[in-house]
Amino acid sequence: MKKILEINNLKKNFRTERIFFGSNKIIKAVDDVFFSINSGEICALVGESGSGKTTIARCIAGLETFDSGSILFKGTPLIFKTKEERRKIQYIFQDTYNSLNPRMRIDDTISEPIKYHFEIKGQKLNEEVNKLLKKVGLNESFRKKFPHELSGGQRQRIVIARALSLKPELIIADEPVSNLDVSIQAQILQLFLELNIKDKITFLFITHDLRIVYNLADYVIVMKDGKIVEQGQTQKIYSKPQSDYTQNLLYSIPASPFKN
């Protein structure tokens, strides 16, 4: 498999504000991280809150600058200077309320990026919107709705449809199901699997929940305090975890495969 994304020596520090007479502190959010993702793969970046996984995701998407290191997309450094480069990597956020403009109908939410990037109009645009809605399990009736009229799962499907509208090669999904009911989580995860298999989209899936990872990801990267503590094929990580931290995460899962 060809590598679609390569992270080399990535470092990102945050400086805390000084309180009264105290001193500023440097927090190493991402500390010399290396990993790569193969094209067509679902890679899970796993860790507790504050482990640095979201900071890495935001650096990849160009939402955060990094201090040193490199991020290569298909062998080329990411600089996000062109529309073509920006559309190839899409970001799905955890919070669907803030991801969608409350004043825009779903029709405009999905069609605007298509018009901007591909200059498609008229009937062809209508057909494309309907096609995207169908792909994420919704129908044409949702086009005239506003975000507040939808459930959490439906909003996340719209966010996914908007990301798909740009025909991305890599989608970063940052805790996309953590706010959803368990039954809806399963549906959204199944949708990701279908998009990966049928559309050959590569995913970087950010989560703190190893239960999700087991049935979803091809490859797992475990993070703690800004560093990677372990990475490998999913089955290998679950059957023979090498680090104490990974073992503790697995033991904390009810009915964990690691326990069986």
Instruction: Give buried/exposed letters for 105-127 (b at 16+ CB in 10 A, else e).
Output: bbbebbbeebeeebebeeeebee
Tell me how far apart the alpha carbons of residues 243 and 32 are, in angstroms, rounded to a whole number: 18
On the question of pLDDT at 257 being above 80, the answer is no
Tens of pLDDT along 87-140? 999 999 988 888 999 999 999 999 999 999 998 999 999 999 999 999 999 999
Average pLDDT on 23-48 reads 91
**What does the block give as tokens for 153?**
């799962």
Report the pLDDT value the prediction gives residue 260, as an integer from 0 to 100. 45
On the question of pLDDT at 81 being above 90, the answer is no
**What does the block give as tokens for 195?**
């998009």
Q: Average pLDDT over the chain, rounded to whole?
A: 91
Tens of pLDDT along 176-234? 998 889 899 999 999 999 999 999 999 999 998 888 888 899 999 999 999 999 999 99
Prediction pTM value = 0.91
Show the domains of the chain with their CATH numbers: 3-251 (3.40.50.300)
Which of 136, 135, 129, 172 minimizes the C-alpha distance to 155? 136
pLDDT band at 259 (very low <50, low <70, confident <90, very high): very low
Tell me how far apart the alpha carbons of residues 107 and 91 are, in angstroms, rounded to a whole number: 20
Report the pLDDT value the prediction gives residue 156, as an integer from 0 to 100. 96
Average pLDDT on 152-158 reads 96
